[in-house]
Amino acid sequence: NAVSADATNLRVKLVLLGDSGVGKSCIVLRFVRGQFDATSKVTVGASFLSQTIALQDSTTVKFEIWDTAGQERYSALAPLYYRGAGVAVIVYDITSPESFKKAQYWVKELQKHGSPDIVMALVGNKADLHEKREVPTEDGMELAEKNSMFFIETSAKTADNINELFEEIGKRLPRPTP
């Protein structure tokens, strides 16, 4: 099982997938450190960060977050990356239709090869760039609905909806049966 620990303390591996440049690393840094660095360099190798949150029912969730330098682009390596993941966060950039196409690819890939009980979230990031928006909110909603995913638009820059993203994922995690 991807989710472990006892009923009130969950622990789960979370992976982020999506085109390079959509803001995966910035989402993680915003969530874990509360920071945004517009000059941040490309992630070198895979980095690992963890963050624990408390939900309203006092369940705690420890997210073990795997962020990569894009090795998952080589499809042969992708399964190694998301193996054992209880959560997959698929990110696109709302100003980039190409990144939305790539998100659709990742949805299919995970349905074929991901663990069957994986919780999937679709994230339209860079929502602060509304003047440059090219992917309508409805398109994200529709893709998510068709595939039973949770959908949210975020901004790592302004912090909009970042905590909400992880809280919602926490709520959707399957609870271990006693």
- Residues forming contacts to ligand GDP in the complex (CB under 6 A) are 20-26, 38, 40, 43, 125-126, 128-129, 155-157
Torsional class of 159: left (φ above 0), alpha (ψ -120 to 50), beta (otherwise): left
Give the nearest distance from C-beta 146 to ligand GDP in angstroms. Answer: 24
| Partner that binds at residue 49, options Mg ion, ligand GDP, none, CB closer than 5 to 8 Å by kind | none
Choosing from 3, 32, 36, 43, the residue that interacts with Mg ion (CB under 5 A) is: 43
Measured between alpha carbons, how far is 38 from 160 in angstroms, rounded to an integer?
A: 16
Choosing from 12, 15, 17, 25, the residue that interacts with Mg ion (CB under 5 A) is: 25
What number of chain residues touch Mg ion (CB under 5 A)? 3
**Secondary structure (DSSP) of 85-135:** -SEEEEEEETT-HHHHHHHHHHHHHHHHHS-TT-EEEEEEE-TT-GGG--S
Q: Whose Cβ is closer to Mg ion: residue 24's or residue 102's?
A: 24
